[in-house]
Chain A
Amino acid sequence: MKSLAELRAIKEKAKAKIHARENTNAKFTIIVGMGTCGIAAGARETLKEIINQIQKRELGNDIIVTQTGCAGFCANEPMVKIIDNKGNEVIYEKLTADKVKRVFDEHIENNIVVSDFVFNINTK
């Protein structure tokens, strides 16, 4: 049986990884729309796949994941906003779980916006 006490060890390990890097600032913030419309369109699975990709690529210290409510464009859900550390924002639409991998391959890893999925872009 697993015990919650194991969390402490997981935390120590994760902290050690963070200290091993010089720059601890997150490179990206990913915001997933989790209103009624987003959830019905599959946002929960999208969020799960984002966490999955972060783990696979060991990006836990580079990315902050958070949630927001309905943005008013329910037909375009699931919507995901990615903000880089300079403040540039890209909003992706209809980003179901199957499309998340491509966003990581291109946007997160190589800084190339995936124009096929873009809803809106705000650059600083």
Chain B
Amino acid sequence: MMKELSMHILDLLENSTKANANKVILNITINTHKDIIEIEIIDNGKGIPKEKINKLFDPFYTTRTTRRVGLGLPLIKQTALSCNGDVVLQSELNKGTRLFFYMQYSHIDRPPMGDLITTILSFIIGNKNIDFYYKHCYNKKCFNLNTGELLKQLDGDLSMLDNPDVYNFLHDYILENLTLIYGGKKDEIFS
């Protein structure tokens, strides 16, 4: 099992890369009043044929040609189900895929979010050519980041994305903004 939700997220984001997506959207929405956390990953990759969608939740259905999703989906399905949640996978061939999962936020078995910022930055660095949109909402306050905006400041120089100074700046920038939308409760971002 993955110890952190943010590890699941990184793993599921990598699926979009393997599907040759050049645009990936990650939406994380937490509503403590409704006691729910929702995570959505949308890509414009090659999509999954209808007959294969259900098989992807079978952990033993992982031949090389279908390694498009690998073990990631069965793992998150198991986690979501055990936390009063579920997973929805929608896909259209050559158009893209939408993966949506939710859980009871306060559920005792819900894995902690963990180091989400490292997840986001790892994905950005490892997939410099992907247009990545990240939106994170906590009780209706939202933070948005997209790589297009970053690259505008960097004059489109992709190689700057793994420059350590840029990395550290982005880390602090995301942390500062998430802390803001969490109303100063820094620890809760990672819990």
Identify which of residues 139-177 in chain B touch chain A, using a CB-to-CB cut-off of 8 Å: 149-150, 153-155, 157, 159-160, 162-169, 172-173, 176
**Which A residues touch B149, using CB under 8 A?**
4
Question: 16 other contacts beyond A45-B115, A66-B126, with CB at 8 A cut-off?
Answer: A2-B172, A7-B169, A8-B155, A10-B163, A11-B157, A32-B126, A34-B14, A34-B122, A34-B126, A39-B2, A44-B122, A51-B162, A55-B167, A65-B125, A67-B127, A70-B70
Interface residue from B18, B122, B164, B165 paired with A69 (Cβ < 8 Å): B18
Interface: B94 (CB within 8 A): no
Q: Evaluate contact between B71 and A36: CB separation under 8 angstroms.
A: yes
Identify which of residues 68-98 in chain A touch chain B, using a CB-to-CB cut-off of 8 Å: 69-70
- Also in contact, A2 and B162, with CB within 8 A (given A11-B157, A39-B7): no
Interface residues of A (CB under 8 A from B): 1-2, 4-8, 10-11, 13-14, 32, 34-37, 39-40, 44-45, 47-48, 51-52, 54-55, 60, 64-67, 69-70
Q: Evaluate contact between B155 and A44: CB separation under 8 angstroms.
A: no
**Which A residues touch B155, using CB under 8 A?**
8, 11
| Shortest Cβ gap from B119 to chain A (Å) | 7
Interface: B67 (CB within 8 A): yes
Q: Evaluate contact between B165 and A10: CB separation under 8 angstroms.
A: yes
- Also in contact, A44 and B10, with CB within 8 A (given A1-B176, A5-B153, A14-B160): yes
Total interface residues on B, CB under 8 Å, equals 38
- Docked complex Cα distance between A49 and B2 (Å): 20
- Docked complex Cα distance between A35 and B12 (Å): 10
Q: Evaluate contact between A60 and B173: CB separation under 8 angstroms.
A: no
**Which B residues touch A69, using CB under 8 A?**
14, 18
Interface: B32 (CB within 8 A): no
**Which A residues touch B119, using CB under 8 A?**
44
Q: Evaluate contact between A2 and B169: CB separation under 8 angstroms.
A: yes
Identify which of residues 60-91 in chain B touch chain A, using a CB-to-CB cut-off of 8 Å: 67, 70-72, 75
Q: Evaluate contact between B166 and A7: CB separation under 8 angstroms.
A: yes
Q: Evaluate contact between A7 and B72: CB separation under 8 angstroms.
A: no
